[in-house]
């Protein structure tokens, strides 16, 4: 669980909403003592695990294949944030000489 499950948060993909949990997150953000903030965060997570109805798990294996003449690409599907495949494609280039050499 994380603060990403806060009501109305963009990354709250399950649209989870719980007033108590939101109040706990607000208290964590307001806490200036990092040790106390960690304690509050642990309490909030324990609470959330009892009331949340969805956990987003990592996706299954994804395989990426590309031609040898595609350069600047190593199989990435994003660069640190979801839905950013366009930023990967923007950095790819084609080795036209190699492509021609391979008969393509």
Phi and psi torsions of 89, nearest 5°: -60, -35
The whole-model pTM stands at: 0.54
Same domain as 44, residue 12: yes
Six-digit token pair at 90?
A: 């923007």
Taking Cα atoms as reference points, which of 101, 24, 44 lies closest to residue 67? 101
Domain, as residue range, for 11: 3-51
pLDDT at 1: 44
Q: Are residues 11 and 42 in the same domain?
A: yes
pLDDT digits (tens, 9 = 90+) for 8-66: 888 787 788 999 999 999 999 999 999 999 999 999 989 988 888 777 677 777 777 88
Same structural domain, 41 and 65: no
Residue 98's SS3 state is: helix
pLDDT score of 14: 79
Q: Burial level of 54, CB count in 10 A (0-12/13-18/19+)?
A: exposed
Q: Are residues 19 and 44 in the same domain?
A: yes
């Amino acid at each position: 669980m994380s603060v990403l499950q806060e009501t109305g948060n963009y990354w709250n993909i399950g649209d989870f909403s719980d007033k108590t949990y939101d109040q706990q997150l607000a208290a964590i953000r307001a806490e200036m003592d990092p040790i106390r903030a960690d304690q509050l965060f642990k309490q909030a997570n324990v609470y959330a695990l009892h009331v949340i109805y969805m956990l987003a798990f990592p996706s299954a294996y994804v395989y990426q294949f590309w031609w040898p003449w595609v350069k600047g690409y190593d199989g990435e599907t994003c660069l640190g944030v979801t839905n950013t495949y366009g930023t990967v494609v923007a950095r790819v280039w084609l080795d036209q000489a190699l492509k021609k050499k391979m008969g393509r």
